[in-house]
């Protein structure tokens, strides 16, 4: 279903003009790019197109300007980095400087594709959005997925359809409600699910545990109870790292004890990480897996006091023989912080896009490519 045209399907590109939609939404501080991974990730596609004799114009969004030019979201640093890496390539202004981008305005699409013969989408991280630059050009131009987009689709589809078993999903993050649809989709295919992060407290409450001042969505407790009663094993932490009354995240000087406790969090205490016993148990499950998807940290890992659980999961992901997939976003940041990103088989470049593809089996950007004049 998700087969999309590849670069090879575009035919002879000699002297053709290619519009390449990339995701160069990179972190910039004081006018300097602090992590150019997304730019480098697009280089295989860019170089393939140049080697095929095409001229390449790249377009990208950067940040969230409100549909008007804003110097704070200038792509000039990206343009400078591109000029250093592939000087033959042109880069358009930030797509979101024009309100037509997010509104999917046909007039903006027409302006984008003017003078171009072919369209290539290599922006997996934006392909879950029905924006003009994502879904517009394939209506008019022969189109294909770039190498990065193709790899994302290939890996995530294989994980959904034919994972090496046991297939384990590790889910963290703050809220069950944010990931409920993904969790339900995964429970159809995984052998077991590991739940950590803030969302674990709603599950723990559903099992009758006290959660103190921990993050908990009371309106999701019944849903968690239903999921726990299902046929698939859901692993929950049985010990917690908790912050006592008066304590503040990211501020050790504020006081408040940090303790390892069981699965019941006392009143006034806040659970902020899985405990060491649970971290070891989760690691054992990961080590025995055939495929592991990790999406979401096990605790507030940005505060060094509460990074133990996430660090332990990261270490297990690096050591296991399983095929390992990191679902972008905070998990990718955690993998990088704990220096295991290079040990993963696949780190997704799009957190929201990867979750939507897992949940729904398709994305607007992929559907658009399949509907192109040369589509499948």
What per-residue confidence (pLDDT) applies to 322? 98
Active site residue 66: no
Beta-bridged to residue 324, according to DSSP, are: 292
State the catalytic residue, choosing from 136, 196, 307, 329.
329
Active site residue 329: yes
Q: Which domains, ranges and CATH numbers included, belong to the chain?
A: 7-150 (3.40.50.1260), 165-321 (3.40.50.1260)
CA distances from 293 to 124, 152, 325 (A): 18, 13, 5
* Residue 207 DSSP symbol: T
How far is residue 281's CA from residue 283's CA, in Å, rounded to a whole number? 5
- Rg, C-alpha atoms of the chain: 22
Single out the residue of 147, 133, 182, 181 nearest to residue 293, CA to CA.
182
Cβ atoms of 257 and 244 within 8 Å: the answer is yes
Single out the residue of 334, 344, 339 nearest to residue 291, CA to CA.
344
Residue 17 has a CB neighbour count (10 Å cut-off) of 15
Judged by phi (left if over 0) then psi (alpha if -120 to 50, else beta), residue 98 lies in beta
State the catalytic residue, choosing from 352, 361, 370, 375.
352
Q: Using CB atoms within 10 A of its CB, is residue 1 exposed (0-12), middle (13-18) or buried (19+)? A: exposed
How far is residue 265's CA from residue 71's CA, in Å, rounded to a whole number? 47
3-class secondary structure, 351? helix
Active site residue 38: yes
Residue range 243-291, pLDDT digits in tens: 999 999 999 999 899 999 999 999 999 999 999 999 999 999 999 999 9
Residue range 197-211, pLDDT digits in tens: 999 999 999 999 999
How far is residue 4's CA from residue 162's CA, in Å, rounded to a whole number? 18
State the catalytic residue, choosing from 38, 81, 129, 147.
38
State the catalytic residue, choosing from 47, 175, 232, 305.
175
Single out the residue of 128, 82, 130, 85 nearest to residue 104, CA to CA.
130
Residues near 309 by Cβ (< 8 Å), separated by ≥ 6?
Answer: 196, 237, 241, 273, 274, 275, 278, 279, 282, 297, 298, 299, 301
What per-residue confidence (pLDDT) applies to 1? 47
Retrieve residue 168's tokens.
């384990």
What per-residue confidence (pLDDT) applies to 375? 67
What per-residue confidence (pLDDT) applies to 352? 87
How far is residue 133's CA from residue 96's CA, in Å, rounded to a whole number? 10
* Residue 291 DSSP symbol: E
What residues in the chain have per-residue pLDDT under 50? 1
The pTM assigned to this predicted structure is 0.91
* Residue 95 DSSP symbol: G
What per-residue confidence (pLDDT) applies to 376? 58
Active site residue 299: no
Q: Using CB atoms within 10 A of its CB, is residue 136 exposed (0-12), middle (13-18) or buried (19+)? A: buried
How far is residue 329's CA from residue 274's CA, in Å, rounded to a whole number? 20
Retrieve residue 144's tokens.
């294909």
What per-residue confidence (pLDDT) applies to 350? 83
Q: Using CB atoms within 10 A of its CB, is residue 321 exposed (0-12), middle (13-18) or buried (19+)? A: exposed
């Amino acid at each position: 279903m998700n087969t999309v045209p590849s670069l090879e399907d575009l035919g002879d590109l000699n002297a053709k003009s290619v519009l390449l939609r990339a995701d160069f939404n990179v972190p910039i501080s004081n006018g300097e790019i602090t992590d150019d991974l997304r730019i480098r990730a697009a280089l295989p596609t860019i170089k393939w197109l140049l080697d095929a004799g095409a001229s390449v114009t790249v377009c990208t969004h950067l940040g969230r300007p409100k549909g008007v030019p804003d110097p704070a979201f200038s792509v000039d640093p990206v343009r400078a980095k591109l000029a250093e890496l592939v000087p033959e390539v042109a880069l358009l202004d930030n797509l979101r400087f024009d309100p037509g981008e997010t509104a999917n305005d046909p007039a903006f699409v027409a302006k984008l594709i003017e003078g171009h013969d072919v369209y290539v989408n290599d922006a997996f991280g934006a392909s879950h959005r029905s924006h003009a630059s994502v879904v517009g050009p394939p209506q008019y131009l022969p189109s294909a997925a770039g190498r990065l987009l193709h790899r994302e689709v290939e890996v995530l589809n294989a994980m959904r359809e034919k994972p090496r078993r046991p297939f384990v999903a590790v889910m963290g993050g703050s809220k069950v409600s944010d990931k409920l649809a993904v969790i339900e989709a995964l429970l159809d295919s995984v052998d077991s699910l590991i739940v950590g992060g803030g969302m674990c407290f709603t599950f723990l409450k559903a099992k009758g545990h006290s959660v103190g001042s921990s993050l908990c969505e009371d309106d999701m407790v019944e849903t968690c109870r239903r999921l726990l009663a299902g046929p698939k094993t859901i692993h929950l932490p049985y010990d917690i790292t908790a912050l006592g009354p008066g304590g503040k995240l990211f501020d050790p000087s504020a006081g408040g004890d940090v303790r390892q406790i069981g699965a019941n969090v006392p009143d006034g205490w806040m659970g902020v990480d899985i405990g060491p016993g649970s971290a070891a148990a989760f690691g054992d499950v990961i080590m025995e897996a055939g495929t592991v998807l990790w999406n979401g940290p096990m605790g507030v890992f940005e505060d060094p006091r509460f990074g133990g659980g996430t660090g332990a999961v990261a270490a297990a992901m690096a050591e296991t023989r399983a095929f390992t997939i990191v679902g972008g976003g905070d998990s990718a940041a955690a993998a990088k912080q704990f220096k295991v990103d290079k040990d993963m088989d696949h780190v997704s470049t799009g957190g929201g896009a990867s979750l939507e593809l897992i949940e729904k089996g398709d994305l607007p950007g992929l559907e658009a490519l399949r509907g192109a004049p040369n589509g499948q």
